[in-house]
């Protein structure tokens, strides 16, 4: 089969050469058509290369934008434990110590630190995930325990064990929650 193709191509080439000798304008016309075909193929290759270059540029721009937007993700995850500990410390201060003159400055300083940390989170697009009273959303909440509840509908969050956070539109840390189950 391949020999037939090779023989046939040789015959076509020989015929072209004979035709070219007999009629130079026909050979010139064939050469012109061949050049037009090559030009069309080259144009197509250039268009594909331009499209690919544009796609690569768009991907790189998106990656760079994501890198700028989410650059603080690692640091933010690390600082969340500091925020958790500060919140626990503030929650552990009894009411009578909050009003005691000896501790009032300390409590006020801790409260101010908590507010400043919340403001820094807000400025950097870090938001606390609301959980209590909401339906469990596996994209934002992680159920740690199920608890019987007569008041809440099954699947409703009734306890927050650890706050969850989002950075811009991405999950930074899921909220660890307790979920109501049928009693």
* Domain end position, chosen among 68, 85, 100: 68
Exposed, middle or buried, 151 (CB in 10 Å: 0-12/13-18/19+)?
A: exposed
Same domain, 97 and 155: yes
Rounded to whole angstroms, the Cα distance separating 61 from 82 reads 34
Query: Are 62 and 85 members of one domain?
Result: no
Residue ending a domain, among 68, 90, 107, is 68
The yes-or-no verdict on residue 2 having pLDDT over 60 is no
The reply to whether 91 and 158 lie within a common domain is yes
Dump pLDDT digits (tens) for 112-127.
999 999 999 999 889 9
Classify burial at 183, counting beta carbons within 10 Å of its beta carbon; exposed 0-12, middle 13-18, buried 19 or more. Answer: exposed
pLDDT at 172: 92
Closest CA to 30 of 16, 41, 47, 50: 16
Q: What is the distance between the alpha carbons of residues 39 and 16, in angstroms, rounded to a whole number?
A: 22
The pLDDT value given to residue 157 = 92
Kindly state whether residues 60 and 89 are assigned to the same domain: no
Domain boundary among 68, 98, 115: 68
pLDDT digits (tens, 9 = 90+) for 50-109: 999 999 999 999 989 888 877 778 888 899 999 999 999 999 988 888 888 888 888 999
- Note the pLDDT of residue 162: 92
- In the three-class reduction of DSSP (H, G, I as helix; E, B as strand; rest coil), residue 34 is classed as helix
Pairing mode, if any, of strands 164-167 and 126-129?
antiparallel
Domain that holds residue 100: 70-181
Task: Tell me: do 55 and 99 sit in the same domain.
Answer: no
> Which of 9-18, 39-48, 113-122, 152-161 is predicted least confidently?
9-18
Looking at the chain, the whole-number percentage of residues with pLDDT higher than 70 is 86
Does residue 169 contact residue 135 with C-beta atoms inside 8 Å? Answer: no
80 and 27 within one domain: no
Give kind and range of the element (H or E) at residue 29: helix 24-69
Q: How many domains does the chain have?
A: 2
Does the pTM surpass 0.75? The reply is: no
């Amino acid at each position: 089969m391949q020999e037939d193709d090779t023989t046939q191509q040789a015959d076509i080439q020989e015929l072209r050469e004979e035709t070219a000798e007999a009629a130079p304008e026909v050979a010139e016309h064939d050469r012109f058509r061949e050049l037009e075909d090559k030009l069309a193929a080259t144009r197509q290759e250039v268009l594909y290369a331009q499209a690919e270059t544009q796609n690569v540029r768009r991907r790189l721009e998106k990656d760079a934008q994501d890198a700028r937007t989410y650059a603080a993700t690692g640091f933010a995850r690390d600082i969340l434990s500091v925020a958790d500990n500060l919140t626990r410390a503030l929650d552990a201060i009894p009411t009578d110590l909050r009003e005691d003159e000896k501790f009032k400055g300390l409590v006020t300083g801790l409260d101010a630190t908590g507010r400043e940390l919340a403001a820094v989170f807000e400025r950097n697009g870090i938001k606390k995930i609301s959980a209590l009273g909401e339906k469990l959303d596996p994209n934002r909440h992680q159920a740690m325990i199920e608890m019987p509840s007569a008041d809440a509908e099954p699947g409703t969050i009734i306890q927050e064990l650890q706050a969850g956070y989002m950075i811009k539109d991405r999950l930074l840390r899921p909220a660890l929650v307790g979920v109501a189950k049928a009693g």
